[in-house]
Amino acid sequence: MVDANTVLRPAPALLPALGAMTLLQALVALALFAPGVVAPRAHIEVWQLSMFSGAVFAVGIPASFWGGGLIARLGSLRIASLCAAAIVVSMVLASLGSSSALLAAGLCLGLAMGPETPASAALLARLVTPRRRAFVFSVRQTGNQIGAVCGSLALPAIAISLGPSWCYAVVGICALVAVALFEWLRPAYAGKIAPPPNLDLRARLALVTADRRIAMLALASMPFSAMQVSLNTVFVTLGTRELGLSHIEAGMALACAQAGGLVGRLGWGFVAMRLNASRAVLVVIGLGMAFCAALLGFHGASLGRAGQFAVAALFGLTASGWNGVFVAEIAHLAPQDRIGETTGAVLTASYAGLLAAPILVSILDGAASLGAAFVTLAGLAFCGTLALMWGAHDIADQ
């Protein structure tokens, strides 16, 4: 098994593994975005979207934190199959339409979201050279945008023409096909392994806190993740309610944002690889997402259609484009026999931001507006950027 700590045979090809793990993230993204994209047609309220997202991340946090040992024993592709199966169950539950079913769907989806990035990091880090790591991880992270763009363009049309339940059915069918693909690929990446000893809670936390560079990445990822999930889950509602967009137009604007994120993940990864400056790239990204969120929150309705679509694309370029550089930097800094565990531990901080964001947005939406919520998120993202800059300064002084 390639993603074990002891490699007992030559590494198999990179591209099939990269394609499989990119597909897995695309499916998770498609399932995560589905309720938000179909919300106007399915009459799903903001508090229900917040409940769904909160449930996903409430389960995703422990699943990510403790999943590293399971990845080492079962292998990344078997974990991928289990994640895809969890997506199928989640979409069946979501199609039932009730608030309780949507909550259960979120809890189930968290079982897929939590382990998928650590599993991918553990597999791909052992198939790619250090020089290409940032770009390859960025390519893999485009799965988020692939799933989001497909969902933003296709799901509103399916919801309008056939009904919201068909949207969930399409996602579930895609996940079933993925299970077959992952199991077909798995033997090529399997072999005898010597799993590492289990780590207790203190040892897992030490993977983050022992290296200040990793600790500051984890801290900054919290507001960055909060910004990203808010863009993905409530932007369509923001567009229809406060920006003067129709449902289809809001979906197209979100598709522009996700297309921007797709370009961003590839572009930021390429820049980080060429300049060997991942932290500086993350600082630029943080400033960009804070600017876009504040602009939409303060003056979004006055930008006009072209301006709104342009800002949405730039928003996606930043708020959805940082993950590849982030995960590649974790894989670079982590102990090489603990990449899965370190990635999972750091992502716990990211998922905490994902968990808190829907609650914060729901509160601010009720007290003021969604625009005010995005302005608040802009301030938090700016603080995260300052944390990255402060961490780099501290390291330079050591």
pLDDT tens digits, 175-209:
999 999 999 998 887 754 555 556 666 777 777 77
Question: pTM score > 0.95 for this model?
Answer: no
User: Does any domain span residue 3?
Assistant: no
Residue 69, pLDDT score = 67
Stretches in the chain below the pLDDT threshold 70: 1-12, 67-69, 191-201, 336-337, 391-398
User: Does any domain span residue 317?
Assistant: yes
User: Does any domain span residue 2?
Assistant: no
DSSP-based three-state secondary structure for 30: helix
User: Does any domain span residue 7?
Assistant: no
Q: How many domains does the chain have?
A: 1
Both tokens of 199, joined, read 């780590």
User: Does any domain span residue 202?
Assistant: yes
Report the C-alpha gap between 231 and 233 in whole angstroms. 6
User: Does any domain span residue 8?
Assistant: no
Q: Counting every residue, how long is the chain?
A: 398
CA torsion angle 362 366 369 372 (round to 10): -60
Range of the domain at 341: 14-397
User: Does any domain span residue 145?
Assistant: yes
Q: What are phi and psi of 246, to 5 degrees?
A: -75, 170
pLDDT digits (tens, 9 = 90+) for 34-77: 888 787 777 777 778 878 877 887 888 888 777 666 777 788 88
Q: Look at the block and give the residue holding tokens 């600082």.
A: 283
Does an H or E element contain 387, and which?
Answer: helix 370-397
Residue 3, pLDDT score = 45
User: Does any domain span residue 4?
Assistant: no
CATH number at residue 151: 1.20.1250.20
